[in-house]
Structure 1
Amino acid sequence: MNQIVVGMGEALWDCLPEGKKIGGAPANFAYHVSQFGFDSRVVSAVGIDADGDEILDVFAQKGLRTQIERVPYPTGTVQVTLDAVGVPCYEIKEGVAWDNIPFTDELKRLALNTRAVCFGSLAQRNEASRITINRFLDTMPDGAEQLKIFDINLRQGFYTKEILCDSMRRCNVLKINDEELVTISRIFGYPGIDLQDKCWILLAKYNLKMLILTCGTNGSYVFTPGVVSFQETPRVPVADTVGAGDSFTAAFTSAILSGKPVQEAHKLAVEVSAYVCTQSGAMPELPQILKDRI
Protein backbone atom coordinates (compact mmCIF):
# COMPACT_ATOMS: atom_id res chain seq x y z
CA MET A 1 0.00 0.00 0.00
CA ASN A 2 1.15 3.52 -0.77
CA GLN A 3 2.43 5.24 2.37
CA ILE A 4 1.99 8.92 1.39
CA VAL A 5 0.85 11.07 4.31
CA VAL A 6 -0.61 14.50 3.56
CA GLY A 7 -0.98 17.64 5.64
CA MET A 8 -3.56 19.77 3.86
CA GLY A 9 -4.56 23.40 4.43
CA GLU A 10 -2.76 26.54 5.54
CA ALA A 11 0.91 27.32 4.81
CA LEU A 12 2.02 30.63 6.23
CA TRP A 13 4.46 32.70 8.22
CA ASP A 14 4.03 32.84 12.00
CA CYS A 15 5.32 36.30 12.91
CA LEU A 16 6.62 35.60 16.43
CA PRO A 17 8.14 38.10 18.86
CA GLU A 18 11.65 36.88 17.96
CA GLY A 19 11.04 36.91 14.19
CA LYS A 20 9.07 35.02 11.57
CA LYS A 21 8.96 31.24 11.41
CA ILE A 22 7.31 28.94 8.91
CA GLY A 23 3.91 27.85 10.19
CA GLY A 24 0.52 26.35 9.56
CA ALA A 25 -0.71 23.11 11.11
CA PRO A 26 -0.52 21.04 7.87
CA ALA A 27 3.14 21.91 7.32
CA ASN A 28 3.99 21.21 10.96
CA PHE A 29 2.21 17.85 10.74
CA ALA A 30 3.87 16.85 7.45
CA TYR A 31 7.32 17.89 8.68
CA HIS A 32 7.13 15.76 11.81
CA VAL A 33 5.68 12.80 9.88
CA SER A 34 8.67 13.04 7.52
CA GLN A 35 11.02 12.85 10.52
CA PHE A 36 9.63 9.38 11.18
CA GLY A 37 10.58 8.29 7.67
CA PHE A 38 7.23 8.62 5.89
CA ASP A 39 6.74 10.12 2.45
CA SER A 40 4.81 13.21 3.46
CA ARG A 41 3.41 16.13 1.46
CA VAL A 42 2.26 19.61 2.31
CA VAL A 43 -0.76 20.57 0.19
CA SER A 44 -1.49 24.29 0.20
CA ALA A 45 -1.13 27.52 -1.80
CA VAL A 46 1.19 30.51 -1.52
CA GLY A 47 1.26 33.84 -3.28
CA ILE A 48 3.35 34.92 -6.23
CA ASP A 49 5.48 36.99 -3.88
CA ALA A 50 8.70 36.98 -1.85
CA ASP A 51 7.00 35.41 1.19
CA GLY A 52 5.79 32.55 -1.02
CA ASP A 53 9.26 32.07 -2.51
CA GLU A 54 10.72 31.93 0.98
CA ILE A 55 8.19 29.36 2.23
CA LEU A 56 9.02 27.05 -0.68
CA ASP A 57 12.76 27.57 -0.05
CA VAL A 58 12.41 26.68 3.65
CA PHE A 59 10.44 23.53 2.85
CA ALA A 60 13.09 22.54 0.30
CA GLN A 61 15.86 23.10 2.88
CA LYS A 62 13.99 20.89 5.36
CA GLY A 63 13.64 18.19 2.70
CA LEU A 64 9.87 18.46 2.90
CA ARG A 65 7.98 17.53 -0.24
CA THR A 66 5.14 19.80 -1.29
CA GLN A 67 2.25 20.17 -3.65
CA ILE A 68 1.80 23.90 -3.33
CA GLU A 69 0.14 26.04 -5.98
CA ARG A 70 1.11 29.66 -6.66
CA VAL A 71 -2.07 31.76 -6.73
CA PRO A 72 -2.77 35.51 -7.20
CA TYR A 73 -3.34 36.20 -3.50
CA PRO A 74 -0.82 37.24 -0.82
CA THR A 75 1.00 34.52 1.08
CA GLY A 76 -0.61 33.94 4.48
CA THR A 77 0.75 35.47 7.67
CA VAL A 78 -0.21 35.16 11.33
CA GLN A 79 0.80 37.61 14.03
CA VAL A 80 1.66 35.49 17.07
CA THR A 81 2.10 36.90 20.56
CA LEU A 82 2.93 34.73 23.58
CA ASP A 83 1.42 35.18 27.02
CA ALA A 84 3.38 34.91 30.29
CA VAL A 85 3.43 31.09 30.18
CA GLY A 86 4.27 30.79 26.49
CA VAL A 87 0.76 30.10 25.16
CA PRO A 88 0.28 31.63 21.68
CA CYS A 89 -2.42 34.12 20.67
CA TYR A 90 -3.05 34.43 16.93
CA GLU A 91 -4.16 37.15 14.53
CA ILE A 92 -4.75 35.33 11.24
CA LYS A 93 -4.85 37.43 8.04
CA GLU A 94 -7.76 36.80 5.68
CA GLY A 95 -8.11 36.69 1.88
CA VAL A 96 -4.75 34.96 1.46
CA ALA A 97 -3.30 32.26 -0.80
CA TRP A 98 -4.18 29.25 1.37
CA ASP A 99 -7.84 30.33 1.31
CA ASN A 100 -7.73 29.60 -2.43
CA ILE A 101 -6.19 26.14 -2.89
CA PRO A 102 -7.27 24.80 -6.32
CA PHE A 103 -8.23 21.17 -6.97
CA THR A 104 -5.95 20.13 -9.84
CA ASP A 105 -5.42 16.89 -11.75
CA GLU A 106 -2.12 16.54 -9.89
CA LEU A 107 -3.94 16.84 -6.57
CA LYS A 108 -6.47 14.21 -7.66
CA ARG A 109 -3.61 11.80 -8.43
CA LEU A 110 -2.10 12.48 -5.01
CA ALA A 111 -5.45 11.81 -3.29
CA LEU A 112 -5.70 8.44 -5.01
CA ASN A 113 -2.31 7.48 -3.52
CA THR A 114 -2.74 8.88 -0.01
CA ARG A 115 -2.69 6.59 3.04
CA ALA A 116 -3.43 9.30 5.61
CA VAL A 117 -4.42 12.96 5.49
CA CYS A 118 -4.70 15.54 8.27
CA PHE A 119 -6.93 18.56 7.74
CA GLY A 120 -8.57 21.18 9.94
CA SER A 121 -11.41 23.65 10.11
CA LEU A 122 -9.33 26.81 9.66
CA ALA A 123 -8.46 26.12 6.01
CA GLN A 124 -12.15 25.62 5.29
CA ARG A 125 -13.13 29.20 6.23
CA ASN A 126 -13.19 30.10 2.52
CA GLU A 127 -15.32 28.17 0.02
CA ALA A 128 -12.53 27.62 -2.53
CA SER A 129 -10.23 25.70 -0.18
CA ARG A 130 -13.18 24.00 1.54
CA ILE A 131 -14.34 22.52 -1.78
CA THR A 132 -10.79 21.37 -2.57
CA ILE A 133 -10.34 19.69 0.82
CA ASN A 134 -13.68 17.90 0.50
CA ARG A 135 -12.92 16.73 -3.04
CA PHE A 136 -9.55 15.41 -1.86
CA LEU A 137 -11.18 13.47 1.00
CA ASP A 138 -13.86 12.08 -1.30
CA THR A 139 -11.25 11.04 -3.90
CA MET A 140 -9.05 9.14 -1.43
CA PRO A 141 -9.50 5.36 -1.44
CA ASP A 142 -11.91 4.40 1.33
CA GLY A 143 -10.14 1.29 2.59
CA ALA A 144 -9.89 0.15 6.20
CA GLU A 145 -6.24 1.26 6.37
CA GLN A 146 -6.85 4.88 5.28
CA LEU A 147 -6.79 7.58 7.95
CA LYS A 148 -8.71 10.83 7.46
CA ILE A 149 -7.76 12.89 10.49
CA PHE A 150 -9.81 15.98 11.33
CA ASP A 151 -7.73 18.12 13.71
CA ILE A 152 -10.40 20.68 14.49
CA ASN A 153 -8.15 23.68 15.31
CA LEU A 154 -10.85 26.28 16.07
CA ARG A 155 -9.46 29.78 15.51
CA GLN A 156 -11.01 33.26 15.72
CA GLY A 157 -14.52 32.10 14.91
CA PHE A 158 -13.43 30.78 11.48
CA TYR A 159 -15.88 27.85 11.61
CA THR A 160 -19.57 27.00 11.40
CA LYS A 161 -21.64 24.11 12.71
CA GLU A 162 -22.22 22.98 9.11
CA ILE A 163 -18.48 22.83 8.34
CA LEU A 164 -17.75 20.96 11.59
CA CYS A 165 -20.55 18.42 10.99
CA ASP A 166 -19.49 17.84 7.39
CA SER A 167 -15.84 17.31 8.35
CA MET A 168 -16.75 14.91 11.15
CA ARG A 169 -18.81 12.89 8.70
CA ARG A 170 -15.88 12.71 6.28
CA CYS A 171 -13.14 11.90 8.82
CA ASN A 172 -12.50 8.64 10.67
CA VAL A 173 -10.16 10.09 13.30
CA LEU A 174 -11.10 13.22 15.26
CA LYS A 175 -8.56 15.23 17.27
CA ILE A 176 -9.85 17.88 19.63
CA ASN A 177 -8.69 19.69 22.76
CA ASP A 178 -10.70 20.21 25.92
CA GLU A 179 -11.52 23.87 25.16
CA GLU A 180 -12.66 22.98 21.65
CA LEU A 181 -14.79 20.15 23.04
CA VAL A 182 -16.63 22.63 25.29
CA THR A 183 -17.28 24.84 22.23
CA ILE A 184 -18.42 21.87 20.13
CA SER A 185 -20.70 20.70 22.95
CA ARG A 186 -22.33 24.11 23.09
CA ILE A 187 -22.86 24.14 19.31
CA PHE A 188 -24.16 20.56 19.18
CA GLY A 189 -26.26 20.73 22.33
CA TYR A 190 -24.37 18.39 24.72
CA PRO A 191 -24.20 20.61 27.84
CA GLY A 192 -23.96 19.16 31.33
CA ILE A 193 -22.21 15.95 30.23
CA ASP A 194 -18.63 15.24 31.32
CA LEU A 195 -15.83 15.39 28.76
CA GLN A 196 -15.36 11.64 28.42
CA ASP A 197 -19.08 11.04 27.81
CA LYS A 198 -19.06 13.75 25.13
CA CYS A 199 -16.18 11.92 23.45
CA TRP A 200 -18.06 8.60 23.49
CA ILE A 201 -21.10 10.33 21.97
CA LEU A 202 -19.03 11.82 19.11
CA LEU A 203 -17.17 8.53 18.54
CA ALA A 204 -20.46 6.66 18.12
CA LYS A 205 -22.40 9.34 16.26
CA TYR A 206 -19.76 9.75 13.54
CA ASN A 207 -18.61 6.09 13.51
CA LEU A 208 -15.01 7.09 14.20
CA LYS A 209 -12.03 4.74 14.42
CA MET A 210 -10.49 6.98 17.10
CA LEU A 211 -11.07 10.23 18.96
CA ILE A 212 -8.05 12.00 20.46
CA LEU A 213 -8.72 14.46 23.30
CA THR A 214 -5.86 16.61 24.57
CA CYS A 215 -6.28 18.47 27.87
CA GLY A 216 -3.05 20.48 28.14
CA THR A 217 -1.31 19.84 31.44
CA ASN A 218 -4.17 17.52 32.49
CA GLY A 219 -3.15 14.75 30.12
CA SER A 220 -4.67 13.29 26.97
CA TYR A 221 -7.00 10.50 25.93
CA VAL A 222 -7.45 8.29 22.88
CA PHE A 223 -10.92 6.77 22.60
CA THR A 224 -11.55 3.79 20.34
CA PRO A 225 -14.77 1.73 20.32
CA GLY A 226 -14.81 0.07 23.74
CA VAL A 227 -11.30 1.13 24.85
CA VAL A 228 -9.72 4.33 26.17
CA SER A 229 -6.02 5.18 26.59
CA PHE A 230 -4.88 7.91 29.00
CA GLN A 231 -1.42 9.47 29.25
CA GLU A 232 -0.29 12.13 31.68
CA THR A 233 1.42 15.21 30.27
CA PRO A 234 5.14 15.25 31.11
CA ARG A 235 6.40 18.25 33.07
CA VAL A 236 8.98 20.04 30.93
CA PRO A 237 10.45 23.56 30.74
CA VAL A 238 8.24 25.25 28.11
CA ALA A 239 9.84 27.50 25.47
CA ASP A 240 6.54 27.82 23.62
CA THR A 241 3.65 25.55 22.66
CA VAL A 242 3.50 26.52 18.96
CA GLY A 243 3.11 23.35 16.88
CA ALA A 244 3.09 20.97 19.85
CA GLY A 245 -0.38 19.66 19.00
CA ASP A 246 0.62 19.11 15.37
CA SER A 247 3.68 17.12 16.44
CA PHE A 248 1.43 15.00 18.68
CA THR A 249 -0.85 14.20 15.73
CA ALA A 250 2.12 13.46 13.48
CA ALA A 251 3.80 11.09 15.93
CA PHE A 252 0.54 9.31 16.71
CA THR A 253 -0.31 8.91 13.01
CA SER A 254 3.18 7.66 12.17
CA ALA A 255 3.04 5.07 14.95
CA ILE A 256 -0.43 3.82 13.99
CA LEU A 257 0.60 3.55 10.31
CA SER A 258 3.64 1.56 11.48
CA GLY A 259 1.35 -0.96 13.18
CA LYS A 260 1.92 0.15 16.78
CA PRO A 261 -0.93 -0.40 19.25
CA VAL A 262 -2.93 2.65 20.29
CA GLN A 263 -1.38 2.95 23.76
CA GLU A 264 2.17 2.81 22.39
CA ALA A 265 1.33 5.35 19.67
CA HIS A 266 -0.27 7.59 22.30
CA LYS A 267 2.78 7.43 24.60
CA LEU A 268 5.12 8.40 21.75
CA ALA A 269 2.83 11.28 20.72
CA VAL A 270 2.86 12.68 24.25
CA GLU A 271 6.67 12.49 24.49
CA VAL A 272 7.18 14.09 21.06
CA SER A 273 4.83 16.99 21.80
CA ALA A 274 6.47 17.53 25.20
CA TYR A 275 9.86 17.78 23.48
CA VAL A 276 8.52 20.29 20.93
CA CYS A 277 7.27 22.45 23.84
CA THR A 278 10.88 22.73 25.07
CA GLN A 279 11.97 24.19 21.72
CA SER A 280 11.22 27.52 20.08
CA GLY A 281 9.01 27.34 16.98
CA ALA A 282 6.88 24.61 15.47
CA MET A 283 9.45 22.55 13.51
CA PRO A 284 12.43 21.59 15.64
CA GLU A 285 14.38 18.50 14.67
CA LEU A 286 13.43 15.61 16.93
CA PRO A 287 16.09 13.71 18.89
CA GLN A 288 17.11 10.44 17.27
CA ILE A 289 15.97 8.50 20.33
CA LEU A 290 12.36 9.56 19.58
CA LYS A 291 12.64 8.91 15.83
CA ASP A 292 13.99 5.43 16.53
CA ARG A 293 10.77 4.45 18.35
CA ILE A 294 9.21 3.86 14.92
Structure 2
Amino acid sequence: MNQIVVGMGEALWDCLPEGKKIGGAPANFAYHVSQFGFDSRVVSAVGADADGDEILEVFAQKGLRTQIERVPYPTGTVQVTLDAMGVPCYEIKEGVAWDNIPFTDELKRLALNTRAVCFGSLAQRNEVSRITINRFLDTMPDCEEQLKIFDINLRQGFYTKEILCDSMRRCNVLKINDEELVTISRIFGYPGIDLQDKCWILLAKYNLKMLILTCGTNGSYVFTPGVVSFQETPRVPVADTVGAGDSFTAAFTSAVLSGKPVQEAHKLAVEVSAYVCTQSGAMPELPQVLKDRI
Protein backbone atom coordinates (compact mmCIF):
# COMPACT_ATOMS: atom_id res chain seq x y z
CA MET A 1 0.00 0.00 0.00
CA ASN A 2 1.13 3.52 -0.72
CA GLN A 3 2.46 5.57 2.20
CA ILE A 4 0.70 8.87 1.36
CA VAL A 5 -0.53 10.85 4.37
CA VAL A 6 -3.15 13.56 3.80
CA GLY A 7 -4.18 16.66 5.72
CA MET A 8 -7.60 17.67 4.42
CA GLY A 9 -9.69 20.79 5.02
CA GLU A 10 -9.18 24.53 5.47
CA ALA A 11 -6.36 26.59 3.92
CA LEU A 12 -6.54 30.25 4.90
CA TRP A 13 -4.87 33.44 6.07
CA ASP A 14 -5.03 34.53 9.69
CA CYS A 15 -5.26 38.32 9.43
CA LEU A 16 -3.62 39.53 12.65
CA PRO A 17 -3.06 43.09 13.88
CA GLU A 18 0.65 42.74 12.97
CA GLY A 19 -0.03 41.23 9.50
CA LYS A 20 -1.23 37.97 7.96
CA LYS A 21 0.01 34.46 8.64
CA ILE A 22 -0.83 31.27 6.80
CA GLY A 23 -3.29 29.14 8.76
CA GLY A 24 -5.22 25.89 8.72
CA ALA A 25 -4.60 22.63 10.56
CA PRO A 26 -4.28 20.42 7.41
CA ALA A 27 -1.13 22.19 6.18
CA ASN A 28 0.45 22.20 9.65
CA PHE A 29 -0.23 18.46 9.95
CA ALA A 30 1.05 17.61 6.44
CA TYR A 31 4.19 19.73 6.87
CA HIS A 32 5.25 18.00 10.08
CA VAL A 33 4.45 14.54 8.67
CA SER A 34 6.72 15.36 5.70
CA GLN A 35 9.56 16.19 8.13
CA PHE A 36 9.44 12.54 9.27
CA GLY A 37 10.00 11.36 5.70
CA PHE A 38 6.43 10.57 4.67
CA ASP A 39 4.89 11.55 1.34
CA SER A 40 2.27 14.03 2.57
CA ARG A 41 -0.36 16.12 0.78
CA VAL A 42 -2.48 19.13 1.67
CA VAL A 43 -5.98 18.84 0.20
CA SER A 44 -8.00 22.05 0.11
CA ALA A 45 -9.21 24.84 -2.19
CA VAL A 46 -8.20 28.46 -2.72
CA GLY A 47 -9.62 31.26 -4.83
CA ALA A 48 -8.32 32.55 -8.17
CA ASP A 49 -6.93 35.58 -6.35
CA ALA A 50 -3.68 37.01 -4.94
CA ASP A 51 -4.31 35.42 -1.51
CA GLY A 52 -4.64 32.03 -3.20
CA ASP A 53 -1.44 32.55 -5.21
CA GLU A 54 0.42 33.43 -2.03
CA ILE A 55 -0.79 30.33 -0.15
CA LEU A 56 0.44 28.09 -2.98
CA GLU A 57 3.78 29.96 -3.03
CA VAL A 58 4.25 29.50 0.73
CA PHE A 59 3.46 25.78 0.48
CA ALA A 60 5.93 25.41 -2.42
CA GLN A 61 8.64 27.19 -0.40
CA LYS A 62 8.00 24.76 2.47
CA GLY A 63 8.35 21.84 0.07
CA LEU A 64 4.76 20.83 0.73
CA ARG A 65 2.99 18.77 -1.91
CA THR A 66 -0.59 19.83 -2.48
CA GLN A 67 -3.79 18.89 -4.18
CA ILE A 68 -5.46 22.28 -4.00
CA GLU A 69 -8.19 23.29 -6.43
CA ARG A 70 -8.77 26.87 -7.61
CA VAL A 71 -12.49 27.59 -7.21
CA PRO A 72 -14.68 30.67 -7.92
CA TYR A 73 -14.80 31.77 -4.26
CA PRO A 74 -12.45 34.05 -2.32
CA THR A 75 -9.49 32.46 -0.52
CA GLY A 76 -10.34 31.90 3.16
CA THR A 77 -9.42 34.45 5.79
CA VAL A 78 -9.81 34.72 9.55
CA GLN A 79 -9.99 38.23 10.98
CA VAL A 80 -8.18 38.24 14.33
CA THR A 81 -8.77 41.25 16.59
CA LEU A 82 -7.70 41.86 20.18
CA ASP A 83 -10.22 43.00 22.78
CA ALA A 84 -9.46 45.56 25.51
CA MET A 85 -7.81 42.82 27.60
CA GLY A 86 -5.63 41.68 24.71
CA VAL A 87 -7.60 38.44 24.21
CA PRO A 88 -7.88 37.47 20.53
CA CYS A 89 -11.33 37.27 18.89
CA TYR A 90 -11.70 35.31 15.65
CA GLU A 91 -14.09 35.92 12.78
CA ILE A 92 -13.85 33.02 10.33
CA LYS A 93 -15.18 34.30 6.98
CA GLU A 94 -17.87 32.14 5.37
CA GLY A 95 -18.60 31.34 1.73
CA VAL A 96 -14.89 30.94 0.95
CA ALA A 97 -12.83 28.59 -1.21
CA TRP A 98 -12.15 25.88 1.42
CA ASP A 99 -15.90 25.60 2.01
CA ASN A 100 -16.15 24.41 -1.60
CA ILE A 101 -13.53 21.68 -2.08
CA PRO A 102 -14.67 19.61 -5.11
CA PHE A 103 -14.39 15.82 -5.31
CA THR A 104 -12.40 15.32 -8.50
CA ASP A 105 -11.03 12.26 -10.31
CA GLU A 106 -7.56 13.25 -9.04
CA LEU A 107 -8.86 13.32 -5.48
CA LYS A 108 -10.44 9.89 -5.93
CA ARG A 109 -7.07 8.53 -7.13
CA LEU A 110 -5.35 10.10 -4.13
CA ALA A 111 -7.90 8.54 -1.73
CA LEU A 112 -7.22 5.09 -3.21
CA ASN A 113 -3.50 5.53 -2.37
CA THR A 114 -3.81 7.14 1.06
CA ARG A 115 -2.51 5.36 4.16
CA ALA A 116 -3.62 8.00 6.69
CA VAL A 117 -5.79 11.10 6.59
CA CYS A 118 -6.42 13.80 9.19
CA PHE A 119 -9.62 15.85 8.97
CA GLY A 120 -11.60 18.10 11.30
CA SER A 121 -15.07 19.47 11.94
CA LEU A 122 -14.48 23.09 10.85
CA ALA A 123 -13.97 22.15 7.18
CA GLN A 124 -17.35 20.38 7.23
CA ARG A 125 -19.42 23.50 8.04
CA ASN A 126 -20.47 23.73 4.37
CA GLU A 127 -22.15 20.86 2.55
CA VAL A 128 -19.82 20.86 -0.48
CA SER A 129 -16.60 20.26 1.47
CA ARG A 130 -18.40 17.95 3.91
CA ILE A 131 -19.55 15.68 1.06
CA THR A 132 -16.03 15.72 -0.44
CA ILE A 133 -14.39 14.77 2.86
CA ASN A 134 -16.88 11.95 3.41
CA ARG A 135 -16.43 10.63 -0.14
CA PHE A 136 -12.65 10.70 0.33
CA LEU A 137 -12.93 8.72 3.58
CA ASP A 138 -15.33 6.22 2.01
CA THR A 139 -13.09 5.79 -1.06
CA MET A 140 -9.96 4.91 0.94
CA PRO A 141 -9.43 1.13 0.73
CA ASP A 142 -10.06 -0.66 4.01
CA CYS A 143 -7.05 -2.25 5.65
CA GLU A 144 -5.82 -2.88 9.16
CA GLU A 145 -2.94 -0.37 9.07
CA GLN A 146 -4.99 2.55 7.75
CA LEU A 147 -5.64 5.60 9.93
CA LYS A 148 -8.59 7.97 9.60
CA ILE A 149 -7.93 10.65 12.22
CA PHE A 150 -10.75 12.97 13.25
CA ASP A 151 -9.09 15.93 14.97
CA ILE A 152 -12.12 17.78 16.30
CA ASN A 153 -11.82 21.56 16.11
CA LEU A 154 -14.95 23.21 17.49
CA ARG A 155 -15.00 26.81 16.27
CA GLN A 156 -17.66 29.54 16.47
CA GLY A 157 -20.54 27.07 16.50
CA PHE A 158 -19.53 25.69 13.07
CA TYR A 159 -20.57 22.15 14.00
CA THR A 160 -23.67 20.07 14.69
CA LYS A 161 -24.27 16.87 16.62
CA GLU A 162 -25.00 15.13 13.31
CA ILE A 163 -21.65 16.15 11.76
CA LEU A 164 -19.75 15.08 14.89
CA CYS A 165 -21.51 11.69 15.09
CA ASP A 166 -21.00 11.03 11.38
CA SER A 167 -17.28 11.87 11.58
CA MET A 168 -16.80 9.69 14.67
CA ARG A 169 -18.43 6.80 12.84
CA ARG A 170 -16.11 7.23 9.85
CA CYS A 171 -12.85 7.71 11.78
CA ASN A 172 -10.82 5.10 13.66
CA VAL A 173 -8.70 7.60 15.65
CA LEU A 174 -10.30 10.49 17.54
CA LYS A 175 -8.24 13.44 18.81
CA ILE A 176 -9.90 15.83 21.23
CA ASN A 177 -8.89 18.30 23.94
CA ASP A 178 -10.36 18.56 27.43
CA GLU A 179 -12.49 21.64 26.64
CA GLU A 180 -13.91 20.00 23.50
CA LEU A 181 -14.65 16.84 25.48
CA VAL A 182 -16.78 18.86 27.93
CA THR A 183 -18.73 20.36 24.99
CA ILE A 184 -19.16 16.96 23.32
CA SER A 185 -20.35 15.46 26.62
CA ARG A 186 -22.99 18.16 26.91
CA ILE A 187 -24.17 17.55 23.32
CA PHE A 188 -24.17 13.74 23.72
CA GLY A 189 -25.61 13.69 27.22
CA TYR A 190 -22.67 12.38 29.30
CA PRO A 191 -22.74 14.89 32.17
CA GLY A 192 -21.33 14.08 35.60
CA ILE A 193 -18.88 11.47 34.30
CA ASP A 194 -15.14 12.07 34.67
CA LEU A 195 -13.04 12.79 31.59
CA GLN A 196 -11.37 9.38 31.40
CA ASP A 197 -14.70 7.53 31.63
CA LYS A 198 -16.08 9.73 28.84
CA CYS A 199 -13.11 8.71 26.70
CA TRP A 200 -13.70 4.99 27.36
CA ILE A 201 -17.39 5.46 26.41
CA LEU A 202 -16.49 7.15 23.08
CA LEU A 203 -13.78 4.56 22.33
CA ALA A 204 -16.25 1.70 22.75
CA LYS A 205 -19.29 3.38 21.19
CA TYR A 206 -17.48 4.24 17.95
CA ASN A 207 -15.21 1.17 17.89
CA LEU A 208 -12.08 3.34 17.72
CA LYS A 209 -8.50 2.08 17.49
CA MET A 210 -7.35 5.05 19.57
CA LEU A 211 -8.61 8.15 21.33
CA ILE A 212 -6.12 10.96 22.03
CA LEU A 213 -7.04 13.42 24.79
CA THR A 214 -4.87 16.50 25.26
CA CYS A 215 -5.23 18.57 28.44
CA GLY A 216 -2.81 21.46 27.87
CA THR A 217 -0.33 21.80 30.72
CA ASN A 218 -2.06 18.88 32.52
CA GLY A 219 -0.67 16.27 30.17
CA SER A 220 -2.18 14.03 27.51
CA TYR A 221 -3.63 10.54 27.21
CA VAL A 222 -3.89 7.92 24.47
CA PHE A 223 -6.67 5.39 25.05
CA THR A 224 -6.61 2.09 23.18
CA PRO A 225 -8.92 -0.85 23.95
CA GLY A 226 -7.85 -1.97 27.44
CA VAL A 227 -4.74 0.25 27.76
CA VAL A 228 -4.11 3.94 28.43
CA SER A 229 -0.86 5.90 27.94
CA PHE A 230 -0.24 9.11 29.88
CA GLN A 231 2.50 11.67 29.27
CA GLU A 232 3.15 14.84 31.23
CA THR A 233 3.45 18.08 29.28
CA PRO A 234 7.08 19.26 29.32
CA ARG A 235 7.71 22.70 30.83
CA VAL A 236 9.29 24.84 28.12
CA PRO A 237 9.65 28.57 27.39
CA VAL A 238 6.63 29.25 25.14
CA ALA A 239 7.02 31.49 22.08
CA ASP A 240 3.50 30.66 20.89
CA THR A 241 1.25 27.60 20.85
CA VAL A 242 0.06 27.96 17.23
CA GLY A 243 0.13 24.60 15.46
CA ALA A 244 1.41 22.69 18.50
CA GLY A 245 -1.61 20.38 18.49
CA ASP A 246 -1.21 19.69 14.76
CA SER A 247 2.47 18.83 15.24
CA PHE A 248 1.46 16.41 18.05
CA THR A 249 -0.97 14.64 15.70
CA ALA A 250 1.61 14.55 12.90
CA ALA A 251 4.40 13.11 15.06
CA PHE A 252 2.07 10.54 16.64
CA THR A 253 0.71 9.46 13.23
CA SER A 254 4.21 9.20 11.72
CA ALA A 255 5.45 7.08 14.62
CA VAL A 256 2.45 4.72 14.54
CA LEU A 257 2.76 4.29 10.75
CA SER A 258 6.45 3.48 11.29
CA GLY A 259 5.45 0.62 13.61
CA LYS A 260 6.33 2.28 16.93
CA PRO A 261 4.35 1.19 20.02
CA VAL A 262 1.66 3.61 21.19
CA GLN A 263 3.61 4.77 24.26
CA GLU A 264 6.72 5.53 22.20
CA ALA A 265 4.63 7.37 19.58
CA HIS A 266 2.91 9.32 22.37
CA LYS A 267 6.24 10.34 23.94
CA LEU A 268 7.58 11.61 20.61
CA ALA A 269 4.34 13.54 19.94
CA VAL A 270 4.62 15.31 23.29
CA GLU A 271 8.27 16.24 22.70
CA VAL A 272 7.61 17.51 19.17
CA SER A 273 4.66 19.68 20.22
CA ALA A 274 6.69 21.05 23.15
CA TYR A 275 9.47 22.03 20.73
CA VAL A 276 6.97 23.73 18.38
CA CYS A 277 5.73 25.79 21.36
CA THR A 278 9.26 27.17 21.81
CA GLN A 279 9.30 28.44 18.22
CA SER A 280 7.39 31.23 16.52
CA GLY A 281 4.81 30.07 13.98
CA ALA A 282 3.15 26.73 13.22
CA MET A 283 5.74 25.24 10.84
CA PRO A 284 9.25 25.40 12.30
CA GLU A 285 11.96 23.02 11.12
CA LEU A 286 12.27 20.22 13.68
CA PRO A 287 15.69 19.35 15.16
CA GLN A 288 17.33 16.34 13.53
CA VAL A 289 17.40 14.53 16.87
CA LEU A 290 13.58 14.44 16.88
CA LYS A 291 13.32 13.42 13.21
CA ASP A 292 15.81 10.60 13.80
CA ARG A 293 13.46 8.99 16.34
CA ILE A 294 11.54 7.53 13.39
The normalised TM-score by structure 1 is 0.97
Please list every run of 5 or more consecutive structure 1 residues that lacks an aligned counterpart in the other structure.
none
Deviation digits for residues 102-134 of structure 1 (CA, Å, limit 9, x no counterpart): 000000000000000000000000000000000
Q: Following TM superposition, by how much is the alpha carbon of 1:15 offset from its aligned partner in structure 2, in angstroms? A: 2.1
Contact preservation (8 Å) 1:123, 1:130: yes
Deviation digits for residues 209-240 of structure 1 (CA, Å, limit 9, x no counterpart): 00000000000000000000000001111111
Worse overlay, 172-181 or 273-282: 273-282
Deviation digits for residues 32-76 of structure 1 (CA, Å, limit 9, x no counterpart): 000111000000000000000000011111110000000000001
Q: Closer, same or farther in 2 for the Cα pair 1:84/1:283, shift >3 Å?
A: farther
Deviation digits for residues 70-105 of structure 1 (CA, Å, limit 9, x no counterpart): 000000111335799998653211110000000000
Please list every run of 5 or more consecutive structure 2 residues that lacks an aligned counterpart in the other structure.
none
Distance in 2 (alpha carbons) for counterparts of 1:179 and 1:76: 26
Q: Following TM superposition, by how much is the alpha carbon of 1:16 offset from its aligned partner in structure 2, in angstroms? A: 3.1
Contact preservation (8 Å) 1:86, 1:238: no
Q: Closer, same or farther in 2 for the Cα pair 1:243/1:54, shift >3 Å?
A: same
Distance in 1 (alpha carbons) for counterparts of 2:4 and 2:87: 32
Contact preservation (8 Å) 1:116, 1:146: yes
Identity %: 97
Distance in 1 (alpha carbons) for counterparts of 2:7 and 2:166: 19
Distance in 2 (alpha carbons) for counterparts of 1:262 and 1:242: 25
1:67-86 correspondence to structure 2 within 5 Å: 67-80=67-80
Contact preservation (8 Å) 1:241, 1:277: yes
Q: Following TM superposition, by how much is the alpha carbon of 1:20 offset from its aligned partner in structure 2, in angstroms? A: 1.6
Q: Closer, same or farther in 2 for the Cα pair 1:86/1:153, shift >3 Å?
A: farther
Contact preservation (8 Å) 1:86, 1:239: no
Deviation digits for residues 238-288 of structure 1 (CA, Å, limit 9, x no counterpart): 111111100000000000000000000000101111111111111111111
Worse overlay, 215-224 or 236-245: 236-245
Secondary structure at the counterpart of residue 134 of structure 1: helix
Q: Closer, same or farther in 2 for the Cα pair 1:140/1:173, shift >3 Å?
A: same
Secondary structure at the counterpart of residue 250 of structure 2: helix
Q: Closer, same or farther in 2 for the Cα pair 1:234/1:123, shift >3 Å?
A: same
Number of aligned residues: 294
Q: In the alignment, which residue of structure 1 is the partner of 2:287? A: 287
